[in-house]
Amino acid sequence: MNAVKTYFIDVVKNQYFNFTGRATRQQYWMYFLFYFILSVVIGIIGAILGDTVRGILSTLLNLALLLPTLGIGVRRLHDTDRSGWWYLIALLPFIGGIVLLVFFCLPSTEGENRFNQ
C-alpha cells in the first residue's frame, strides 16, 4: 500500500500539473503500473454494469489522469536530458510511440540538465 501512495497517489495529488523537475524510471513505470491496474478494475466494474457505464467510467478516469500522465512523461524526458516537447513525437504514426517508449526506458542522466528549469 505504501508503493501506491508513493508512486501513484502522490503524483496525482501533489504533482497534478507539474511539468518541471525529474521522474526516475521507477517512478514513471510504477505510476503506469498502478494506472493500468486501475484501468483493469474500472473495466471489470464496467463490464459488470454494462458497456455504457464502462465507457463513462473509462472516460472519466482518462480525463482525470490526463495531466498527471503528461506531467510524469515530461519529467521522465527531463530525466533523460530531453525537452518535454519530445512528447509530441508520439503523434507520428507507428514510429513516434516506439521512439517515445525507448526514451522512457533509457537510464537517467547524472547531475543537472538543461531542461530542468
- Judged against a pLDDT cut of 90, whether residue 105 lies above it is answered with yes
| pLDDT tens per residue across span 41-82 | 998 998 898 888 888 999 999 999 999 999 999 999 999 989
This prediction has a pTM of 0.86
Indicate the number of domains in the chain.
1
CA–CA distance, 55 with 89 (Å, rounded to integer): 28
**pLDDT reported for residue 114:** 67
CB-hemisphere CA count at 13 Å for 26?
4
Residue 114 lies in a domain: no
**pLDDT reported for residue 87:** 93
Residue 31 lies in a domain: yes
**pLDDT reported for residue 115:** 63
Residue-number span of the structural domain to which 21 is assigned? 2-105
CA–CA distance, 115 with 81 (Å, rounded to integer): 7
Residue reference for cell 459488470? 48
Reading the block at residue 26, the C-alpha cell is 521507477
Q: What is the mean pLDDT of residues 1-17?
A: 80
